[in-house]
Amino acid sequence: MRNAGGSGNFLIMRVNWHDYPVEGQWDELVRPDGRARPGAGRLLKTLAGFDAEELALRQGAADLAIKAMGITFTVYHQEEGSIDRAWPLDIIPRVIALREWRRIERGLVQRVRALNAFIDDVYHDREIVKAGRFPGTYLENSANYRPQCQGISPPLGIWAHICGSDLVRAADGTVYVLEDNLRVPSGVSYMLENRKVIKRVFPELFERIAIQPVDDYPSQLFDTLAALSPRPSEYPEVVVLTPGIYNSAYFEHAYLAQQMGCELVEGRDLLVGEDDCVYARTVEGLTRVDVIYRRVDDLFLDPEVFDQDSMLGVRGLMRAWQAGNVALANAPGAGVADDKLVYTFVPDMIRFYLGEEPLLPNVPSWLCADPESRRYVLEHLAELVVKPVNESGGYGMLIGPASTQAEREAFAGLIRRQPRNYIAQPTLSLSTVPTEISNRIEPRHVDLRPFILSSDRVHVTMGGLTRVAMRKGSLVVNSSQGGGSKDTWIVGRD
């Protein structure tokens, strides 16, 4: 438990940023000379005035607010079943100057446009394959390619309406895109709740610093979804489809439904009528549904087409979608561009579809499917991170520098057997942010997940969800694996 102050045993320890250990990595707030990065000046000055007791008080206030606001995430526990845990939030925000953010924002918009163009192309004429810029065989072997989507044209030609792209910053300050989540990316509710909590913790800073607000998101999400309605003249009936209370992101599903003023539905609440329209079972009878923000994976969406045993989906949903009677966000099949092998082609897609140079670089990657790259990867396993192409949440990876000889041998076998399933990247030293650790401030590694909404308009969240690895030196930021989070401040005026 954290001490909430008042014991009197604390030594007066004020923060001296010149003693803060930055060396060898990029810190988001503190320059190597101990001075503040753009936008972080006032925050660092305020923190410098805190002793251990004040720091503990503020963190205690944040923890209490999170408990009181009921911000939880669900983890599956072997004995207890699924249990709700309080969301871990560190009080020290991550700061990005607005000028830099505008550049990142443009890069994200560019990227998502190209990704949507690619998905649409994949399910239509495959110009990119014809042009010899993308090997068609990679598609057929992709776990997230859906032949059922071939020839379908969703509204506005957009497949990935909600995209969460993970960004990391390397030691030289370059921001890279680590991956794009185009299936059911989660975390945005925590971005919104983190802001509410931190406003309570540092009200004085919000008064003095121009921190860009984030709370537009639910209305932007609603507008994004509403624009997809097949009945544009009517007030659209938008619902959020959740797998149910046992899903780890259930809090978020309920939260977003509530914030948008929509019904939170499960598969069994919906049915597809003989007219191929989707209806909700309500106390007033069946009511037509126009747009489904689905947080259920493709394969469970419709037992008629995909997993026949799925209890989470709606029989006939794909039929209704193909007939254009309901919009699904994200569209089924959008995950084809979520594949890490496809990821390596995104810079080429930007050049091919948009005729532009990519504004945000990919992390350099080796495709194990390519014989020459494979040879390099196998020879350098101890330095590289090897990732399976279809996993998310940090599962099934080999982190070379932290691996044993036996693990490397096992991975070498996996790569040789199924080269298409793996890519390798250099081990990046993620940037750090000062973080409260037992009433002291220490650097911890972070990433950033902004969310990009696309339909008739494109919106990028102001910042996003900063995830932080709470263990010293760790690069694992996933909340299911002990990661925490931070509020993200975009500071400045245009």
Partner 1 sequence: MLSRVAENLYWLARYMERAENTARMIQVNANLVLDLPGGVTAGWAPLIRIVEATEAFEASGRKYGERGVIAFLVGDYDNPCSIVSSIALARENARTVRDMIPRELWEHVNDLHLYAREHLKGGLARRERHQHLQYVIEAAQAFTGILEGTMIRGMGFRFLSAGRYLERADMTCRIVDVRSSSLLVDKEAESLKPYENIQWMSVLKSLTGYQMYRLKKRVRVHSDAVVEFLMLDDEFPRAVYSCLGHLEVQLSSLPNNTDPLRVVTRLRRHLLEQPLRDVRADSLHAYIVEVLEGLGEVHDSLAQNYFDPELATRRA
List contacts with partner 1 (CB under 8 A): 70, 244-245, 254, 257-258, 263-266, 268-269, 271, 280-286
At its nearest, how many Å lie between partner 1 and the CB of residue 257? 7
Which CB sits closer to partner 1, 257 or 377? 257
Which CB sits closer to partner 1, 48 or 83? 83
Q: What are phi and psi of 296, to 5 degrees?
A: -115, 135
Which CB sits closer to partner 1, 68 or 131? 68
- Pair type for strands 483-491 and 89-97: parallel
Q: What's the token pair of residue 193?
A: 């709740």
At its nearest, how many Å lie between partner 1 and the CB of residue 254? 5
Query: Within its chain, how far is the Cα of 461 from the centroid?
Result: 11
Q: What's the token pair of residue 119?
A: 């998905």
**Residue 364: exposure state from Cβ atoms within 10 A (0-12, 13-18, ≥19):** exposed
Q: What's the token pair of residue 299?
A: 């394969």
Which DSSP string do the residues of 10-63 spell out, in sequence order? Answer: -------GGGS--TTS-BSSB-TTSPBPTT-HHHHHHHHT--HHHHHHHHHHHH
Cα distances (Å, whole numbers) of residue 342 to 154, 286, 302, 311, 387? 21, 41, 26, 30, 13
At its nearest, how many Å lie between partner 1 and the CB of residue 180? 30
Which CB sits closer to partner 1, 244 or 347? 244
Which CB sits closer to partner 1, 54 or 269? 269
- Omega prior to 247 cis, within 30 of 0: no
3-state helix, strand, coil in the chain (%, to 5): 35, 25, 40
At its nearest, how many Å lie between partner 1 and the CB of residue 401? 43
Cα distances (Å, whole numbers) of residue 24 to 54, 74, 170? 30, 36, 10
- Residue pair 425/418 in contact by the 8 Å Cβ criterion: no
Which CB sits closer to partner 1, 310 or 344? 310
At its nearest, how many Å lie between partner 1 and the CB of residue 258? 6
At its nearest, how many Å lie between partner 1 and the CB of residue 265? 6
Alpha helices by DSSP H, 70-126: 98-122
Query: Distance between CA atoms of 86 and 74, rounded to whole angstroms?
Result: 9
At its nearest, how many Å lie between partner 1 and the CB of residue 213? 24
At its nearest, how many Å lie between partner 1 and the CB of residue 9? 34
3-state secondary structure of 74: strand
Which CB sits closer to partner 1, 197 or 452? 197
At its nearest, how many Å lie between partner 1 and the CB of residue 79? 13
Cα distances (Å, whole numbers) of residue 184 to 165, 167, 243, 293, 306? 12, 17, 12, 9, 17
- Residue pair 176/170 in contact by the 8 Å Cβ criterion: yes
At its nearest, how many Å lie between partner 1 and the CB of residue 34? 45
Query: Distance between CA atoms of 338 and 184, rounded to whole angstroms?
Result: 10
At its nearest, how many Å lie between partner 1 and the CB of residue 316? 14
Among candidate residues 308, 303, 333, the one with its CA nearest the CA of residue 122: 333
